[in-house]
Structure 1
Amino acid sequence: MLKDWQAFQELATRFAAGEVCLRVAGLGGSARALVVAELLHAQSRPILVVVATLADAHRFAQDLRFFGAAAHEFPEREPQLWKGGHHREAEAERALIVRRLTAGEPVAVVVTPAALDTALPAPTDFRDGTLRVGVGDSLDRELLLEALEKAGYERVDTVVEVGQWSARGGIVDVFSPIHPSPARIELFGDDVESIRLFDPTTQRSTAALDELVVLPLAPVADTADNATRLLQYLPPAAPVVIDAPKLLEETSPEAPGRRPLAEMIADRPRLELELLTGDAADVTLETLSVDPFSGKFDRLLDEVRRWRAEGFSVRLAAADPNQAEHLKQILHDHGIDVPIVESLEAAENLGIVVGDVSGGFVVPAVGLVLLAESEIFGARRRTLRRPKYQRGAALTAFTDLAVGDLVVHEDHGIGRYLGLRAMRVGDKDADFLILEYAESNQLYVPVDRLDLVSKYLGADAGAARLDRLGGASWQRVKESVRAALREMAEELLKLYARRAVAEGHGFSPDTPWQREFEAAFRFEETPDQLRAIEDVKADMQNRSPMDRLVAGDVGYGKT
Structure 2
Amino acid sequence: MDKIDSTLQVEKIKNHLLAGGERVLEAQPLLLKGVSGSLDAFLVASVLRKEALVICVLPSYEMASYLYSDLSQILGSKNEEHLLLFGATDQHPYDVEQVADNQRLVQRSEVLQRLSKGFKGVLVASADALAEMVPLPETFEKASMSLSIGEILGPELLIELLMEQGFELVTYVQHPGEIARRGGIVDVFSYVGNYPVRFEFFGDELDTIREFDPSNQRSVSRLTQVTIVPNLRQVQKGAHTSLLKHLHRDAVVFIRDLLHVEETANKLFGRAVEVFKRKGEQGDLLLPDELYLDGKHLVEEMKSFRQIHYGSFIGLGHKPYIEIAFRTQPPPDFNGKIHFVRKKVAANHEKGWQTLLLCDSRGQEIRLRELLDPYVSPERLGARSWHQDDDEQEASEEKGLRFMLASLAEGFEWHEIGIALYTDHQIFNRYHRPTVRKQKQRYGGFSLRELINLTPGDFVTHIDYGIGKYEGLQKIEVRGKQQEVVRLVFRDSDVLYVNINALYKLHRYTGKEGHQPKLSKLGTGEWERTRNSTKKKVKDIARDLIKLYAERKKAKGFGFSS
Match of 1:397 in 2: 447
Q: Across the two proteins, how many residue pairs are aligned to each other?
A: 477
Query: Aligned in 2, Cα 1:284/1:193: closer, same or farther, shift over 3 Å?
Result: same
Query: Aligned in 2, Cα 1:228/1:457: closer, same or farther, shift over 3 Å?
Result: farther
Deviation at 1:328, TM superposition (A): 4.4
Match of 1:290 in 2: 331
Match of 1:113 in 2: 127
Alignment of 1:96 with 2:87, yes or no, is no
Matches within 5 A, 1:127-142: 127-142=141-156
Deviation at 1:270, TM superposition (A): 1.9
Match of 2:15 in 1: 13
Matches within 5 A, 1:347-386: 347=394, 349=399, 350-380=401-431
**Alpha-carbon displacement from aligned partner over 1:136-176 (angstroms, at most 9, x marks no partner):** 33222222222333444443322334443322111122234
Match of 2:63 in 1: 56
Q: 1:226 aligns with which of 239, 244, 269?
A: 239
The AA in structure 2 aligned to 1:51 is L
Query: Aligned in 2, Cα 1:280/1:308: closer, same or farther, shift over 3 Å?
Result: same
Deviation at 1:430, TM superposition (A): 4.5
Deviation at 1:179, TM superposition (A): 3.6
Matches within 5 A, 1:384-463: 396-402=446-452, 405-406=455-456, 407-410=458-461, 415=470, 417=472, 419=473, 423-426=476-479, 430-434=483-487, 444-447=497-500, 448=502, 451-454=505-508
The AA in structure 2 aligned to 1:74 is F
CA distance in 2, matches of 1:357, 1:146: 47
Match of 2:385 in 1: 339
**Alpha-carbon displacement from aligned partner over 1:209-229 (angstroms, at most 9, x marks no partner):** 22222223331576x442222
Contact 1:22 1:272 in 2 (8 A): yes
The AA in structure 1 aligned to 2:310 is L
Query: Aligned in 2, Cα 1:32/1:415: closer, same or farther, shift over 3 Å?
Result: closer
Match of 1:202 in 2: 216
**Structure 2 SS opposite 1:399:** helix
Match of 2:84 in 1: 72
Query: Aligned in 2, Cα 1:541/1:238: closer, same or farther, shift over 3 Å?
Result: farther
Query: Aligned in 2, Cα 1:427/1:376: closer, same or farther, shift over 3 Å?
Result: farther
CA distance in 1, matches of 2:405, 2:299: 36
CA distance in 2, matches of 1:542, 1:145: 72
Match of 1:41 in 2: 49
**Alpha-carbon displacement from aligned partner over 1:313-351 (angstroms, at most 9, x marks no partner):** 332212234434444454456542531148999626543
Give the TM-score of the pair, scaled to structure 1. 0.71
The AA in structure 2 aligned to 1:113 is A
Matches within 5 A, 1:125-524: 125-176=139-190, 178-220=192-234, 224-247=237-260, 250=263, 251-252=266-267, 253-256=270-273, 257=288, 258-266=292-300, 267-268=303-304, 269-274=306-311, 282-331=323-372, 335-336=377-378, 337-341=383-387, 347=394, 349=399, 350-380=401-431, 396-402=446-452, 405-406=455-456, 407-410=458-461, 415=470, 417=472, 419=473, 423-426=476-479, 430-434=483-487, 444-447=497-500, 448=502, 451-454=505-508, 475=518
Match of 1:30 in 2: 38
The AA in structure 1 aligned to 2:73 is F
Deviation at 1:369, TM superposition (A): 2.1
Which sections of structure 1, spanning at least 5 residues, go unmatched? 465-472, 479-492, 510-537, 544-559
CA distance in 2, matches of 1:428, 1:309: 76
Query: Aligned in 2, Cα 1:355/1:261: closer, same or farther, shift over 3 Å?
Result: farther
**Alpha-carbon displacement from aligned partner over 1:271-294 (angstroms, at most 9, x marks no partner):** 221358999762222212111324
**Structure 2 SS opposite 1:180:** coil
CA distance in 2, matches of 1:97, 1:344: 34
Which sections of structure 2, spanning at least 5 residues, go unmatched? 274-287, 522-536
**Alpha-carbon displacement from aligned partner over 1:368-389 (angstroms, at most 9, x marks no partner):** 22112222332136599999xx
Deviation at 1:414, TM superposition (A): 5.1
Deviation at 1:201, TM superposition (A): 2.5
**Structure 1 SS opposite 2:328:** coil
**Alpha-carbon displacement from aligned partner over 1:450-506 (angstroms, at most 9, x marks no partner):** 54452799999xxx9xxxxxxxx974999xxxxxxxxxxxxxx9xxx9xx9xxx9x9
CA distance in 2, matches of 1:507, 1:360: 43
Contact 1:197 1:207 in 2 (8 A): yes
**Structure 1 SS opposite 2:5:** coil
Contact 2:110 2:193 in 1 (8 A): no
CA distance in 2, matches of 1:324, 1:6: 33
Contact 1:151 1:215 in 2 (8 A): no
CA distance in 1, matches of 2:331, 2:205: 63
CA distance in 1, matches of 2:142, 2:557: 67
The AA in structure 2 aligned to 1:426 is R
The AA in structure 2 aligned to 1:289 is P
**Structure 2 SS opposite 1:402:** helix
CA distance in 2, matches of 1:221, 1:185: 23
Deviation at 1:20, TM superposition (A): 4.3
Structure with bigger RCO (C-alpha 8 Å, 6+ apart): 2
CA distance in 1, matches of 2:262, 2:139: 33
Deviation at 1:254, TM superposition (A): 3.6
The AA in structure 2 aligned to 1:340 is W
Match of 1:531 in 2: none
Give the TM-score of the pair, scaled to structure 2. 0.71
Contact 1:331 1:338 in 2 (8 A): no
Query: Aligned in 2, Cα 1:4/1:299: closer, same or farther, shift over 3 Å?
Result: same
Deviation at 1:395, TM superposition (A): 5.5
CA distance in 2, matches of 1:272, 1:41: 19
Query: Aligned in 2, Cα 1:340/1:261: closer, same or farther, shift over 3 Å?
Result: same
Please identify which structure carries the higher helix content: 2
Contact 1:59 1:358 in 2 (8 A): yes
CA distance in 1, matches of 2:356, 2:232: 45
The AA in structure 1 aligned to 2:243 is L
Deviation at 1:428, TM superposition (A): 6.6
